[in-house]
Homo-oligomer: A and B are copies of this chain.
Amino acid sequence: MTVQPDHSRFCAWIWLAALALLAPGCTVWQVGDIAPDYVNGSTHRGAEVLAFDAESKVLASGGWDGDIALWVLGSGKPERVWQAHDGFVLGVAFIGDQLVSGGQDGRLKSWSRTGQALHSIDTGSGITQLAVLNGRVVTGHKDGSVRAWTLPAFDASMHLMLHDGNPVSALAVDAKTGRIASGGYGGRVFLIENSGRTREL
Contact = CB atoms under 8 A, between A and B. Distances in A.
Stoichiometry, copies per complex: 2
A80 to B, nearest CB: 12
Interface in A139-185: 142-143, 145, 154-162, 165, 167, 169-174, 176-177, 179, 181-185
B191 A27 contact: no
A162 to B, nearest CB: 6
Contact of A61 (B7, B128, B189, B195): B189
Given A13-B197, A19-B143, A157 B47 contact: no
A126 B158 contact: no
Interface of A: 1, 6-7, 9-10, 13, 15-20, 22-23, 25-31, 34, 36-39, 42-52, 56, 59, 61, 63-65, 69, 71, 73, 79, 88, 90, 106, 121-126, 128, 142-143, 145, 154-162, 165, 167, 169-174, 176-177, 179, 181-191, 195-201
7 contacts: A20-B123, A30-B161, A31-B162, A39-B199, A44-B189, A49-B183, A71-B189
